Amino acid sequence: MFHALGAAIANIIATTINKHLLSKERMDVLSFGIWLFIFLFAITALTLPWIGWVDFELALSDHYLYIFLIMILIATIWNFYYYYCLQKDTLADFQLVVIVQPLLAVFLSMLLFSDERSDKVLIATIIAGVTLILSHLHRWRIENFKVTVPLFIAIVLASVETLFHKELLVVYSPAALYFTRTFIIATILFLANPGHISKVTPKNLWQTFVISFFAVLTMILSFYGYQIIGIAKTNIIMLLYPIATTIISIYILKERIKKRKVVALIIIVLCIIYAFLNGN
């Protein structure tokens, strides 16, 4: 549980700085993506001597190699859409819509893995999901599709990717899996857009490094959460990150939020608490 809570806190910090860098300072999205993933694999590499291991015999088998390649494809696509939408949308609205991602991950994990199934987690997820939909009906107007559709694609793909993580964590440690994943994505982004790597200022570079540090904490702690308490419970806790980031956006970035969204946030917090009460 504490791994997932730490991941949520790290994600709050990373996303808030992300929003400032992309929407306020208008850093080029592709340049940001390239440098982000360079820093991600470089920082993760420092942890490998202590917490990095790979069962190469299994990892190089057809089954796990196929799963890994699909994960890389999915991760590359959804990360591009995710940061594109973060640049275009307000942080409050963005985070509240992104709550759908952990909800989808919960449903998919319980559908496909028997050890993820829990009555309380299911009930909490359904209530949180219905609350989310009711508080965001206004986003599905035609004029919002330019941001909403790519964001929805990113949400679905990110949720699907978590299922591949659970499978691959059998043969990779969390740090080793994240290092390999980010190294390959960084290489793909650079080779596809080599000219964008220079579109960065020293200040942007430093902020991207800070974001990367907290992103590494987020993902590695999330992976440990998947191993210890499962995908479903980890993602229920991860709902804290968009909730807290939304609150921060109100007080720090001076973005507005409607009362119905505040009510939605309170209900979702209560759902998280219920999901972790004793019993199934």
Has residue 71 been placed in a domain? yes
- Is 167 within 8 Å of 68 (Cβ atoms)? no
231 is a domain residue:
yes
Strand partners, 266: none
26 Rama class: left (phi>0) / alpha (psi -120 to 50) / beta:
left
Residues 257 and 246: beta-carbon distance below 8 Å: yes
Query: What secondary structure does DSSP assign to 115-145, as a single string?
Result: GG--HHHHHHHHHHHHHHHHH-GGGGSGGGH
Query: What's the CA gap between 196 and 28, in Å, rounded?
Result: 8
How much is the pLDDT for 140?
47
Query: Has residue 280 been placed in a domain?
Result: no
Helix and strand tally (H, E) in the chain? Answer: 14, 0
> CA–CA distance from 145 to each of 21, 87, 88, 132 (Å)?
24, 15, 12, 18
Across-strand partners of 54? Answer: 172
pLDDT tens for 262-279 read 787 788 888 888 888 765
Domain residue limits at 263: 2-275
Residue-wise pLDDT for 211-224, tens only, equals 999 999 999 999 99
Cα 268–chain centre separation: 18
For residues 162 and 109, the answer to whether their CB atoms sit within 8 Å is yes
Q: Evaluate whether residue 159 is within a structural domain.
A: yes
What is residue 94's predicted lDDT score, i.e. its pLDDT? 60
- Note whether 218 and 14 are within 8 A (CB): yes
In-domain check, residue 234: yes
Lookup: tokens for 244: 């807290």
pTM of the model: 0.86
pLDDT at res. 41: 96
221 within some domain: yes
Let me know if residue 50 belongs to a domain.
yes
- Gyration radius of the chain's alpha carbons: 18
Residue 249 domain flag: yes
pLDDT tens sequence for the chain (280 residues): 678 888 878 887 887 787 778 767 778 878 888 999 999 999 999 999 999 999 999 999 999 999 999 999 999 998 888 777 766 655 555 655 666 788 889 999 999 999 999 888 999 888 887 877 676 655 444 345 666 778 788 889 999 999 999 999 999 999 999 999 999 999 998 998 888 888 888 888 999 999 999 999 999 999 999 999 899 989 888 877 666 666 666 666 565 666 776 787 788 888 888 888 765 5
193: CB partners within 8 A, 6+ apart: 30, 34
Backbone phi, psi, residue 241, to 5°: -70, -50
User: Domains in the chain: how many in total?
Assistant: 1
